Chains A and B, each alone.
Chain A
Amino acid sequence: MTTLTQQTLTHLDWLEAEAIHIMREVAGQCSSPVLLFSGGKDSVCMLRIAEKAFRPGRFPFPLMHIDTGHNYPEVIAFRDKRAAELGERLIVRSLEDSMARGSIVLKHPLESRNKHQSVTLLEAIEEFGFDACIGGARRDEEKARAKERIMSFRDEFGQWDPKNQRPELWNLYNARSHKGENIRAFPISNWTELDVWQYIQREQLELPSIYFAHTRPVVRKGELLMPVTDLTPAKPGDTIEEVMVRFRTVGDVSCTAPVESDADTVDKILAETATTTITERGATRMDDQTSEASMEQRKKEGYF
């Protein structure tokens, strides 16, 4: 093999360029897209990519958050602040409204609301007539995602059929859909957790404070640390400890656990991420551990 003569992009520049290209394809091919923004680190990267893709123009899509009502208040405050800074429209649709309508019925009041997000998302898609939802999911997160397309087709019930996905070749994306059907587009499919943190560092992106090490009351449950909150109070017999922790993902309070860490800067988090021995979801997401295929199952039901 000959030596490199043509100039090439660094890995972060390449990933960014690919993500911009994908977002512009969604904007070019779909008539009514929406970008899902939760305030989490992946969606913070997505907003920066959208700025690089469309500024000085406005985003050709609104932002939307499906609020479980069980989010950390720091994350919700950050979400609103970031949307206001960008001057972009933020739509919030709440699981509690779906519960009031009767379209979500919890098995018990403290059941994790995470999997029920699909219902509210599908209701919002119908309400606004969105034909594409742009999300920050990554293929390295979970093995049902490793075979996910960048443009993932969902039928009118929002269902993902892994056996009926469109082949995706070169960078020729097919985001066509009939009325009522939906495309989920994942511009950062090819990023890993390490890439996300390197991008946050390079772009100096602001994040909700709970991503950084802080002291928090927790209860140890096996290898997981359960945060003690109003929603997840300690049970009789639990030992509450004050532990220095940070969150690797931010999701529903009832199913997202922090990890023990004293990394209080992006640089320190990067160093930890490079040497960690547990996957992001494995360390923190109780919902993925219920069965080997639980993510696949949720995706089939309309989840991201």
Chain B
Amino acid sequence: MSALEHLPGIDNGLLRFLTCGSVDDGKSTLIGRLLFDSKTILADTLNAMEKTSAKRGMTAVDLSLLTDGLQAEREQGITIDVAYRYFSTGTRKYIIADAPGHEQYTRNMVTAASTANLAIILIDARKGMLNQTRRHSTIAHLLGIPHLLVAINKMDLVDYDQATFEHIKAEYTKFAHKIGLKDVRFIPLSALAGDMVVERGERMPWYEGPTLLQILEAAPAAHTERPESFRFPVQFVCRPQDSANPELHDYRGFMGRVESGEIAVGDAVTVLPSGLTSRVKAIEIGGQKIERAIHEQSVTLLLEDEIDTSRGDMIVKSAEAPEAVKQIDANVCWLSETPMSPARTYLVRHTSREVKAKIAKIDYRLDINTMEHEPVSTLAMNDIARLSLKLAQPIFADAYRSNRATGAFIVIDESTNNTVGAGMIV
């Protein structure tokens, strides 16, 4: 499993996943186990952890010390922010977003979930499904994480009992059906003893599925397997007119990242908002030409025709242009300690575009434990609500369900420049 054995063989891409649960569910132990078994925790880090654990009077190494990074957190003994951890199996690189589990940290889980393609939902086998499980699953669903892995942990504390596992699985399946979750898998684990994390162990012969790591290794790295429309928000325009090279005098490169779909030289494109059309003359990375660019690649596009284009515009394939909208309905998670003031004007950043926005209507607040809708007149931190927003200029949007990149936006408070909300277009 060490990186070296596989070094030349890397590469099965990169998978970003999220772990949801509290320290009580063994989340830190699970992360520690993955890092340890993939040899990511190195000797000096372990030494430091041993010293700190001993200083606090603990007998075993406290693996949560790995994830509780900040002094403030250590003083309070809690995790207050999303931490990012890395490991590699030699064939695949992983980024773990580790979000704290408590209810008041909904915003942190939303943040961590926004970039994840898989979520591990931890359940303590002794406790079964809790409100917290439902909350985490709902957020994962709302944020459109395509793959869910329910890890029923602490099997060592229930004698590796299959009936306990099956019971929780049945209960969760019923719940998943109710909220519309599709790709859900189940695995029995003992993060502490290591069973079914990297090694199978010998105590659960009744479980015939893959280990946790095998599931991670086989999970699709792409956010979706559906073909998506080509979306290319322009970040920056390159016009090297001052160059000594006369060939570059007319060079006009539109720089951005392929947020979805793909593009090839010769494709017919439309530039929004102007609606003018052209064809792709060249695709470049750092001045080197390539024939086509795929999802998540950062490239420079050159067009056949001279079209006035700037940051905030979007290049799309002519046959699949998104809608230009000035009013949007969205699920918004409020992130700021300062409640929303519905009378104010906020900024909405959508792709590379920034527009002023007003709250037209708050439809309801979603109780993420019960899924009930409640009428509210404002939003406080951690609230998730359905809103209508009126925009000063149009944005080129898709529904979040069909396109994560062009369906997402953040809300910015112009007076502080803080990011105060996260929105998903319905």
Interface of A toward B, CB cutoff 8 Å: 1-18, 20-21, 24-25, 27-28, 51-58, 60, 139-140, 143-144, 146-147, 153, 162-163, 165-172, 174, 176-178, 189-190, 192, 194-195, 198, 270-271, 274-279, 282-283, 292-293, 296-297
Contacts and interface: CB of A to CB of B under 8 A. Distances in A.
A-B pairs, top 8 by smallest CB distance, nearest first, are A282-B44, A52-B286, A20-B298, A143-B69, A176-B417, A11-B93, A169-B114, A55-B287
A152 to B, nearest CB: 13
A144 B69 contact: yes
A8 B42 contact: no
9 contacts: A1-B220, A5-B220, A5-B225, A8-B220, A10-B13, A21-B235, A58-B242, A143-B69, A198-B10
Contacts of A279: 42, 44-45
Given A167-B419, A176-B417, A15 B44 contact: no
A88 to B, nearest CB: 13
B236 A24 contact: yes
A270 B7 CA distance: 9
B321 interface: no
B219 A1 contact: yes
Interface stretch (B190-198, B253-261, B268-276, B389-397): B253-261
Instruction: Tell me what chain B mostly uses at the interface: helix, strand, loop, or mixed.
Output: mixed
A147 B81 contact: yes
Interface in B312-337: 335
Contacts of A13: 297
A195 B220 CA distance: 21
A11 B419 contact: no
Interface of B: 2-4, 7, 10-11, 13-14, 42-45, 48, 52, 66-67, 69-72, 74, 80-86, 88, 92-93, 95, 107-108, 110-111, 114-115, 147, 183, 185, 215, 218-222, 224-225, 227, 235-236, 238-240, 242-243, 245, 248, 251, 253, 255-257, 262, 285-287, 294-298, 311, 335, 349-352, 404-405, 408-410, 412, 417-419, 422
A17 B267 CA distance: 22
A172 B298 CA distance: 15
Given A21-B298, A170-B114, A174-B417, A56 B287 contact: yes
A141 to B, nearest CB: 11
Contact of B13 (A14, A143, A153): A14
A176 B414 CA distance: 9
Contacts of A14: 13-14, 296
A170 B412 contact: no
A169 to B, nearest CB: 4
B294 to A, nearest CB: 5
B198 to A, nearest CB: 18
B241 to A, nearest CB: 9
Nearest to A60: B236
Task: Count chain B CB atoms within 10 A of each CB in A7, A8, A165, A174 and give the residue with the most.
Answer: A8
A6 B295 contact: yes
Nearest to A51: B286
Contact of A11 (B11, B71, B222, B404): B11
A56 B238 contact: yes
Chain A interface mostly: loop
B294 A9 contact: yes
Nearest to A9: B296
B238 A278 contact: no
Contacts of B108: 167
Contacts of B285: 52
A136 to B, nearest CB: 16
Contacts of A11: 10-11, 13-14, 88, 92-93
A36 B44 CA distance: 29
A243 to B, nearest CB: 20
A3 B70 contact: no
The winner among A6, A12, A169 for most chain B CB atoms within 10 A is A169
A248 to B, nearest CB: 12
A220 B256 CA distance: 50
Contact of B222 (A6, A143, A194): A6
A5 to B, nearest CB: 5
A28 B83 contact: no
A63 to B, nearest CB: 17
A170 B404 contact: yes
Contact of A1 (B71, B218, B224): B218
A192 B87 CA distance: 9
Contact of B220 (A2, A147, A166, A292): A2
A171 B349 CA distance: 11
Contacts of A55: 286-287
Contact of B44 (A3, A8, A168, A283): A283
Contacts of B107: 167
Contacts of A25: 235, 352
Given A5-B225, A8-B295, A140-B86, A170 B115 contact: yes
A58 B350 CA distance: 27
A17 B43 CA distance: 32
Contacts of B88: 11, 192, 194
B251 A56 contact: yes
A83 to B, nearest CB: 18
Contacts of B45: 279, 282
Given A1-B183, A10-B11, A54-B238, A169 B84 contact: no
